[in-house]
């Protein structure tokens, strides 16, 4: 299971596009490798908002989702 935000873990990667921030659920899936609450499949969008990602995969509210989000400079994960 994923560590809780209270333990200081940054759970939600995002990229900055101008002033728009988008979470990357594919990176979440790669990092948690099975610890995701809801399965990620072909219907999962490539990007979603940070609050949506936090709610869907970690059961977090809007504020906590932003608290555990972190900037990704290389979206491919390499």
* Token pair listed for 51: 């609050």
Q: What angle do CA 58, 32, 25 make, to 5 degrees?
A: 65
Express each pLDDT in 17-62 by its tens digit.
877 788 887 777 776 665 555 666 677 777 889 999 899 888 899 9
Domain boundaries, the chain: 5-71
Report the predicted TM-score, pTM, of the whole model to 2 decimal places.
0.67
Q: Using DSSP, state whether 46 is helix, strand or coil.
A: coil
Task: Supply the pLDDT for residue 1.
Answer: 45
């Amino acid at each position: 299971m994923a560590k809780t935000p209270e333990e200081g873990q940054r759970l939600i990667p995002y990229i900055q596009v101008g002033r728009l921030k988008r979470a990357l659920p594919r990176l979440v899936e790669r990092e948690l490798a099975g610890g995701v609450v809801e399965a990620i499949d072909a219907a999962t969008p490539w990007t979603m908002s940070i609050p949506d990602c936090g709610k869907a995969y970690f059961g977090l509210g809007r504020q906590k989702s932003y608290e555990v989000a972190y900037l990704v400079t290389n979206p491919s994960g390499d």
